[in-house]
Structure 1
């Protein structure tokens, strides 16, 4: 807050000095507006006193700054753009225009302004960091280029190191990712974000003792599913299966398990020759790997085949869906497929009965249930 007040006072002083040879500003009023953070009122006051058509650089940037602080990005861009026309190589103006463009979702304009900063000052760390945010995908080559440049300028900065390590890891350059994080951690040993980011990379490099030592300390700081998983894997790879199972089970208790953690739990039990639990967790792994919507997807696929008169394929798709989940909808579609398209009444009767046994919704499926009961009665008469 003290830093902000100093900045505002300096800005106020600049405008006041300018005002010595211009329309008179009430510096006390302007100071009060700044102090109370009434930036919109300050912008309007400055515009009214200095004139909307002013060409003075300090006045333009100050009005633009007030509008920016007030959240009025349209007016802020208007005044900063005027200032840009007067002094196109001003870093502060370019940064402001880039910031405004980013806030308004115009990334192309932001890239343009930040690109101009790079041409003026090729070693400006802040602009490279801002540019990386405009390329959010870790697979984007330009994100890598800008992160690399920023990291070269300041290898100790944690956010850039973390992001660069992620890009290296995506490209499976684990040694480089580890080195980037290691340098930043040495500069800030209490940075838990960097330490957490380092664990999976250290696991990839088979630095299991380091993962266990660091991870156990991190787990005392709080519950982090990623940390627990990485430490559990390190215990598995060092053949400390009981400790691995204990941590994997903790994830289940916290409802943070996934296909991968269940798989390693199964492997741990298998290594201990506890085949009953190994089989149990293998089944859980399979269940976790299968989407609960898989049967619905096969139901849709079967319907598409059926509507295209590909009845054999529709039949196979419907039955495949039943392998994942019992579905009244699929039973009904199979019944009508055999009844109306394949002309196999015995099979149709079987699936109509299966449909009723699967307990369809009495309210939402009222018409289908009635049709099914009527059709079963008709098929039984002709049997």
Structure 2
């Protein structure tokens, strides 16, 4: 009888314990959410639930609040608990991927996303995100193609896939990908602009002009001007090409290609003076401002290898691009001390001084002046000959 009483009492206590539920102040929690005080919401929920709680709903709320509050390590901790309790839940895997992505751990983010596509091979968002986590062009295209096949009208995926195709000069597929996305969103100027250079490559010049002119009316940027100008050039409307490309030149946005097309256009219009002007500008634009410096470097290397003829050739080639004053100085030293041609050296020392070297090159300036004086007075003291400043 006594044993039966104890058993009944035990069962009663167990039922009472299970009947107890966690009480949440919903109004308080709602106020935290509405005022976006997610850190306070997380702190409140953690004060209500025990640290070792296995309540998935509670852990999800805590994880979400911490993630929204930017407390990513705490959010990850809760999501990992959920993943241990209920493995391979897609929303949890996405959250873990997002957290790791935001923390710069792309490797772990990729692992979670790859787990998602193993569970769901038709998950568009997973493929889209994976494309952003690889440097492999082939793999990136594979992910983007899969995402595009699942949702052909997603503008971001269409743009990225077309961009990859364009870089590989695969123009027709790039054009078609954008065409479908544009048909679904005819006001998407970004997609339309992305299609212009591709359409040019496919010789769809009239389409480029039609679409491009509309984009220009809506504030199209310099790339639109460039693409439309090229289309006009291809259709032999040279004056229109010049008009558009002049806009780029006035904005200092010209490049070698722009200037080349302008020169050709002026030539076709029989304006040979302007054609010559822009041909020269094309040459100047095509030359790096550092070319002379590079030849100076090459000349110095030849000197160190005692290949003086090659050194002179490199230095003089550098001077054809710009009057880089250090080259004059180097040629002066080379002719002076390695070739013993003092008259030629004298000319280069003088050229160096006339090129207005910087004040910071004081030692080279002073040495050039001293050496010029010595060469002009052969019988003068040779003091200083061994103190060449390289």
Same fold, TM-score > 0.5, yes or no: yes
Instruction: Indicate the residue corresponding to 1:6 in structure 2.
Output: none
Greater alpha carbon shift after TM alignment, 35-44 vs 351-360: 35-44
Preserved contact between residue 22 and residue 50 of structure 1 (Cα < 8 Å): no
Residue 47 (structure 1) aligned with residue 43 (structure 2):
no
My pick for the range that moved more, 346-355 or 313-322, is 313-322
Separation in 1 of the partners of 2:332 and 2:92? Answer: 71
Mean alpha-carbon deviation: is it higher for 90-99 or for 169-178?
Answer: 169-178
Q: Would you say 1:206 and 2:183 are equivalent positions? A: no
Please give the TM-score of this superposition, normalised by the length of structure 1. 0.90
Q: Is it true that 1:158 corresponds to 2:155 in the alignment? A: yes
Q: For the structure 1 residues 86 and 306, does the alpha-carbon distance in structure 2 shift closer, same or farther, using more than 3 Å as the test?
A: farther
Cα distance change, pair 47–365 in 1 and its aligned pair in 2 (3 A): same
- Bigger Cα Rg: 2
Q: Which range moved further: 260-269 or 304-313? A: 304-313
Match of 1:334 among 331, 334, 340: 331
Deviation (angstroms), 1:197:
0.9
Task: Specify the SS of the correspondent of 1:46.
Answer: helix
Structure 2 counterpart of 1:245, from 242, 245, 249 = 242
CA distance in 1 between partners of 2:123 and 2:76 (Å): 23
Structure 1 counterpart of 2:172 = 175
Greater Cα offset, 29-38 or 95-104: 29-38
Q: CA deviation at 1:20?
A: 8.7
Q: How has the CA–CA distance of structure 1 residues 42 and 272 changed in structure 2, closer, same or farther, with 3 Å as cutoff? A: same
CA distance in 2, matches of 1:375, 1:154: 76
Instruction: Supply the distance in 2 between the matched residues of 1:183 and 1:351 (Cα, whole angstroms).
Output: 65
Q: Answer with 78-87 or 114-123: which moved more.
A: 78-87
* Paired position in structure 2 for 1:38: 37
Aligned to 1:89: 88
Decide whether aligned partners of structure 1 residues 89 and 349 sit closer, same or farther in structure 2, where only a CA change above 3 A counts: same
Residue 38 and residue 318 in structure 1: after superposition, are their counterparts in 2 closer, same or farther (change >3 A)? same
1:371 and 2:363 correspond: no
* Partner Cα separation in structure 2 for residue 162 and residue 92 of structure 1: 26
Matches within 5 A, 1:62-211: 62-135=61-134, 140-211=137-208
Report the CA distance between 1:298 and its aligned residue: 1.8
CA shift in 2, pair 1:327/1:53, >3 Å: same
Q: 1:347 aligns with which of 328, 331, 344?
A: 344
Aligned equivalents of 1:354 and 1:55: distance in 2? 84
How many Å apart are 1:230 and its aligned residue?
1.0
Post-superposition CA distance 1:225-273 (Å, at most 9, x none): 1111111111111111111111111111122111111111111112122
Matched, 1:279 2:296: no
The residue that corresponds to 2:213 in the other structure is 216
Q: Please report how far the alpha carbon of residue 285 of structure 1 lies from its aligned counterpart in structure 2 after TM superposition.
A: 0.9
| Structure 1 residues 86 and 307: CA distance shift in structure 2, 3 A | farther
TM-score when normalising by structure 2: 0.88
2:378 to 375, 379, 382: 382
Q: Give a deviation string over 1:310-360, Cα, whole Å, max 9, x none.
A: 333332222221111111111112212222333322221111100001011
Unaligned runs of at least 5 residues, structure 2: 1-17, 380-390
**Selected match of 2:298 from 297, 301, 326:** 301
Measured after TM superposition, the shift of residue 380 of structure 1 is 1.2
Structure 1 spans left out of the alignment, 5+ residues: 1-18
Count residues with an aligned counterpart. Answer: 362
Aligned-pair Cα RMSD in Å: 1.9
Tell me what 1:8 maps to: none
Q: Which moved more, 1:219-228 or 1:79-88?
A: 79-88
